[in-house]
A and B are shown apart, each in its own frame.
Chain A
Amino acid sequence: MVILKNLSTEELYAPGHRLCAGCGPSISIRMALKAARGPIAVVNATGCVEVSTTIFPYTAWRIPWVHALFENQAAVASGLEAAYQSLEEQGKRKGKVDVIAVGGDGGTFDIGIQAISGMLERGHDIVYLCYDNEAYMNTGIQRSGATPRGAATTTSPAGKVIPGKRGMKKDFIGICAAHGISYAATASIGFFSDYIDKMKKAIEVDGPAVVHVIAPCPLGWRSNPTETVKLAKMAVQTGMFPIYEVKDGIYKMSLKPGKLLPIEKYFELQRRFRHLLKPENKNELEEIKREIENNYRRILKLAGEQAA
């Protein structure tokens, strides 16, 4: 298991990029690259990480990196992996390169999901990493299929009639696992050791693997930039974002918080949820709490465990 002491000190992701102070996705990328076992190449979807790390003529990437479009990272990665394999088999190049496709939640849950499904079905040896900050933050905080119910975004505002985003977060890992892949996991940048371990496992798998990491966005969550890591932990501890692995179809909890933290504690640190704590939205809050708990129990059950 990864502990701080044995964590690689090599920084493949250089400082000086233009992501915000307290940016969760930035932390998620730095940590993910600590899991590298050798040569690595990243295929990055359009999004905050991409636009802020490679503003020409600068780059924050000390490894081979490519950005293509918003929705095709899984397909570009498929082609890159196929090229490396083909050239290696013909003796035209040498050395295994681990290909990692990276997308935000919008590029993953919504516009990119078809290409991801294709990549998983064809069995490419690629790690797909989704950094999830729960909305289209790069374009100005619009709701995505990963935005939790009730959260206010610029396209799901908390209005007089509709209290924020409708519908629950998609079960992305469930969708990936249903492709019959060997490894899929959720993680949190609040639990770095667990997250990097999962990235290592994903890289070691011979075939497609998926890691879905919660990475708070202070700008979009309207939270204090000093509390990014704390919020990433609380997302797990409240049952909002359970962390678990699905290995060859078998679910296993990575952290079982025992008694869940009250969701209000998590909501009150983020202004995107502020309206839910008002008396007029009491019923909505109760329904959200029930949905979160039901989802948490569903995952526990899949992992063969009982709720505390």
Chain B
Amino acid sequence: MLSSFSVDGGMLLAGIGQTLYMTLASALLAYLIGLPLGVLLAVTAPEGIRPLRMLNTVLGFVVNVLRSVPFLILLILVIPLTRAIMGTSLGPSATVVPLTVAAAPFVARLVEASLAEVDQGVVEAAWSMGASPFKIIMKVLLPEARSSLLLGATIAAITILGYSAMSGIVGGGGLGDIAIRYGYYRYETSVMFVSVALLVVIVMVLQALGNRWARSIDKKASAPSGMAFGLFGSGMPLGGRKAEKIGQSAVPAENKDEDAAT
């Protein structure tokens, strides 16, 4: 069966291009909305630097509602919006709209979680030096969370990639579209397999790149950053980070000093 269908390389290449375009454009737009929203969620939380109960509750509610709508439903629900913005509801560019709507609240939660991880003691130190809430956000929370934010962005990009494949159902373009049209509707299984394999490769590369980049900018890990692990070696990013934290605490934090003589 497989050999009786030739796989159209040009089409797949275009599919890869479209998938990457949708993923990156949507991720960018989702961060444009989700990053400020996530900062607001973290900052106004009860344990945040500027607790605002009402605002936090309302924002959290909106985010939760948006996140609980299944993407396939959202895809259809926002068609009028997509038409209003893009003039059409078909093709990769149009798909960016529902992808952004779906990803922004997810990104907001990822950002919120990253910022909540920042050491409260460091925030307190910044207060003690007279920093304003705005300066604490810009100079403490975001820079201190940068590695975690980057890992979050990797997760977001991969999630968006998965969603973008789903949009093939309504003619969204990209590899998912190819897999559905050829593999599902026309029983060209080989095309489906190849496009799915390509999706898998893209996910793995994205994850590995994200892990490496996040690791290389994180100065918290005392081991020199960089080549300590292979391209696919670190697996799940959260698992990797957890292990790192455990590793850190296993080292006695305040051991003997060399500078005692001074």
A binds B: no
Give residues in A with beta carbon < 8 Å to B: none
Give residues in B with beta carbon < 8 Å to A: none
